[in-house]
A and B are shown apart, each in its own frame.
Chain A
Amino acid sequence: MSIQEQYRSRAKELLGEGSVKMVIGYGVGTTATRRRPIFITSPDETDRLVLDASCRTNLAGYLLREGLLADQKSIAVFLLPDGVRALNILAAESQLATAQIVVLGFEIKGEEVKPLEGTAAGDFSAIIAERKEQRKAQPSHEMAVKLEEMTPAERFAFWEKEFSRCIKCYACRAACPMCWCRRCVVDNNQPQWVNTSSHTLGNLEWNLVRAFHLAGRCVECGNCSEACPVNIPLHLLNGRMTDEVLTAFDHYPGADEQQEPVLASFRKDDPETFIL
């Protein structure tokens, strides 16, 4: 039985016995390699589920749709290891209770999709711990290395050019499972922190603020870069923040649901190399 069949029948079983009220998974999209999230509530619909190497979107954010979890009923969701980490962070930030979530975990290696053992977020701690070590050893993105070698003026020019294309559609925010604020700082107009007109200044401010608010929270699922209509390399900013919290505070976002948010906790011996 293919992994897709295996997961379809698992979803059918869960919905059939009534242990979950909904399955959030992937369905066919507009092109052969595009997948779109589907929300299934009846066991008859599970044939619409697709599971292959194109299923890379992190679906964790859909769990926070207003009122979805309010009735205390369970929901099953297809998640990659990054998705499980997102789930852990959302639980740590009191946005959901992991007991309500049934994880249909899988991972993609090359073009092969492999099932992951476990149903609760806590069952995946071993693979997440492994990912942490991989992330530590992972060489920086090619472009990130180039940027680090540039002078500050060149770096500024690079980002100025990138951000000048931003149209402030906020697709990055909409696609991000971590952007759950009911009222985003950029929507505030008293005070107006960020310039909302589509000039490079406001674009720079917006992207800096978003990267900062994701420091230690981003699971690097890639939803934002994928969603950006003008292809701003948002993963470089987020990746740089992840490097920083990992090296400075040994913080791997979403390691488990007890993990304290990195910017809401501290150690007295945190490093400080730049403070006069």
Chain B
Amino acid sequence: MSEPFEPKIVAFVCTYCTYAGADLAGTSRLKYPPNVRIVRLPCTGRISPMFILKAFQKGADGVLVSGCHPGDCHFDHGNYHARRRWTAFNALLQFTGVPEERVKFSWISAAEGIKFAELIDSITEEIRTAGPFEQYHKLIAETGSAASV
């Protein structure tokens, strides 16, 4: 009997808002799927698109990138820069056929523990339905290395 598919999701989050929001979800005893691996970074401005590609290269089925709402950045404008980058990179991913459900972007503040838990819930469900990122896994297999997140 095959086990149900459990997607691997990597979340790149800024430490001041989304990580604190995730923390709040935890301290509030909110339950969300354990499929997400959180990578904490100083600011969304630090999140290079290379990180997203790296996560896929290592076999992730989905990636979430999240930070402070516009206007709330701890460093004043890191997220505005990030937003422009995401706009261009998201367009590029769509154009090259990376399915929309594989990469998600969001703003989650330190007070939004509930939003964090619900978002992880919904994207995990969406990717579970879509199944493993086979197209990419096939490319990884060609290189001779196994997917390992």
Contact = CB atoms under 8 A, between A and B. Distances in A.
Contact of A185 (B50, B93, B94, B96): B50
A197 B142 CA distance: 11
B49 interface: yes
A208 interface: yes
B143 A156 contact: no
A270 B87 CA distance: 10
A244 B87 CA distance: 8
A201 B142 contact: yes
Interface in B3-19: none
Most A CB within 10 A of own CB, among B95, B97, B107: B95
A147 interface: yes
Which range contains the number of A residues in contact with the other chain?
Answer: 35 or more
> Main SS of chain B's interface residues?
helix
A159 B95 CA distance: 9
Contact of B88 (A147, A158, A205, A244): A244
Given A200-B142, A215-B88, A244-B91, A266 B96 contact: no
B131 to A, nearest CB: 12
A211 B97 contact: no
B53 A208 contact: yes
Contacts of A156: 96-99, 135
Given A209-B50, A209-B53, A275-B105, A155 B143 contact: no
A248 interface: yes
Contact of A212 (B49, B70, B83, B105): B49
A274 B81 CA distance: 16
Contacts of A155: 95-97
B143 A197 contact: yes
B98 A263 contact: no
A159 B90 CA distance: 16
Given A159-B97, A194-B53, 6 more contacts: A152-B100, A154-B97, A193-B50, A201-B136, A212-B92, A276-B119
A134 B86 CA distance: 27
A266 B77 contact: yes
> Main SS of chain A's interface residues?
helix
A240 interface: yes
A5 interface: no
A153 B97 contact: yes
Interface in B61-101: 70-71, 77, 80-81, 83-100
Contact of B104 (A160, A199, A262, A276): A276
Interface of A: 147-148, 150, 152-160, 185, 191, 193-195, 197, 199-202, 204-205, 208-209, 211-212, 215-216, 237, 240-241, 244-245, 248-249, 262-268, 270-272, 274-276
A205 B48 CA distance: 13
B139 interface: yes
A252 B91 CA distance: 17
Interface string B111-149: 000000001000000000000000110011011000000
B107 A275 contact: yes
A253 to B, nearest CB: 12
A174 B50 CA distance: 21
A273 to B, nearest CB: 9
A248 B87 contact: yes
A161 to B, nearest CB: 11
B83 A272 contact: yes
A263 B105 contact: no
